[in-house]
Amino acid sequence: MSVFPPTVVQSAFRCQGQPVPLPGGQGEAFRCGDIVLKPCRSTVEASWVAQLHLEIQQAGFRLPRPVRTTKGDWIAEGWQAWAFVEGIHRTDRWRDVITTCRTFHDAMRNIARPAFLGTRGDPFSRADRIAWSEEPANCHPRITPVLEHLRSLVEPTDLPSQVIHGDMSENVLFAADLPPAVIDFSPFWRPADYALAIVVVDALDWCGADESILQWVDDTPEMYQLMVRAEIFRIAIRDGFFKQGVDTLEGTNGHMQTVDMLTQRLS
C-alpha cells in the first residue's frame, strides 16, 4: 500500500493542491501541482541523484529538475521532490527508447562511481549482484532451475563499467515536440549496454514487443550475454520482493519465451 506524503512534507516542498497518486513504479509517487513527491530509501543516494541531475548536460533527452525544501535541502522526512515533466510511456516507440538509452549513457560516461553502490541491500541491488555472479542466488526453488539454466549461458565479459540507469524501460516519457524525458533514475555500476539489455528484455517480457526489437541492438557487442544477465536480474528481483511478502512468483512465467530465445542464440 502506498504511503501518502505527510502534510509536513508537502509544506516543506511548497506543494499546491492535494497530492494525487501517479501510475507506474511501485505506486509511491504523487503529483502535487507541478511537483512530484517520492519517498527515498537513502538520503545519501537521493542527494547524489538530485545533484547529478543538475550537472549532467541534457542533449537529446530531458531530465526532471530536483526541488529543494524551504530550508534548501533535497530531502524532507524521507521524501524528495521533482518538477513534473510532460510525457507518457509508449509501448510502440522502442526504437526511440533504445536511442534515448544510448544517448543518455553517453552523457553519463565520465560520472565517478558513487560509494553508496557498494552498501545497498534492497532487492534490486541484490538481484544486480546475483546477475553478475557477485552473490549466490539462494532463490525460491520454483525459480532456481531457470536461474541455473540462465547462469549456464553466462560467459565472461570485459566491457567497461560506468554509472547506468538500471530501470529505463518504462521511465522514458514522450511528449509532442519535446525530447524524450528520462525519469526515476536508478543508479548501478555496469556496462552501458547492460541498461539497454534490460530495456530489451523488459519490452519482450512485459510490454508486448516481439523479436523484431532485436534488429536495433543486434550490432551491440555482447548484447545477448548482457540480456542473459538482464533476465537473471529481473527474475531475481521478483524473488527478493517475494521474500518481503510484497510480490508473487507468478510473473516469472512471462520470462520463459525470452529465456528460450536466448538459449537458442547462445547455444
User: pLDDT, tens digit, for every residue of 38-53?
Assistant: 999 899 999 999 999 9
Write the CATH number for 73: 3.30.200
Domain shared by 32 and 163, yes or no: no
Q: How many residues does the chain have?
A: 267
One domain for residues 139 and 254: yes
* 141-200 pLDDT, tens digit each: 999 999 999 999 999 999 999 999 999 999 999 999 999 999 999 999 999 999 999 999
Name the helix (H) or strand (E) containing 228. Answer: helix 223-243
pLDDT at 25: 61
Count: domains in the chain: 2
For all residues of the chain together, what is the average pLDDT? 94
In this structure, the answer to whether residues 116 and 179 fall within a common structural domain is yes
- Domain span including residue 12: 7-83
Q: What is the pLDDT of residue 1?
A: 47
Does residue 88 fall inside a structural domain? no
Pairing of strands 30-32, 20-21: antiparallel
- CA–CA dist 115, 47 (Å, integer): 13
A 10 A CB-CB count for 69 gives 18
pLDDT at 76 over 60: yes
Exposure string for 54-65, b = 16+ CB within 10 A, e = fewer: eebeeeebbbbe
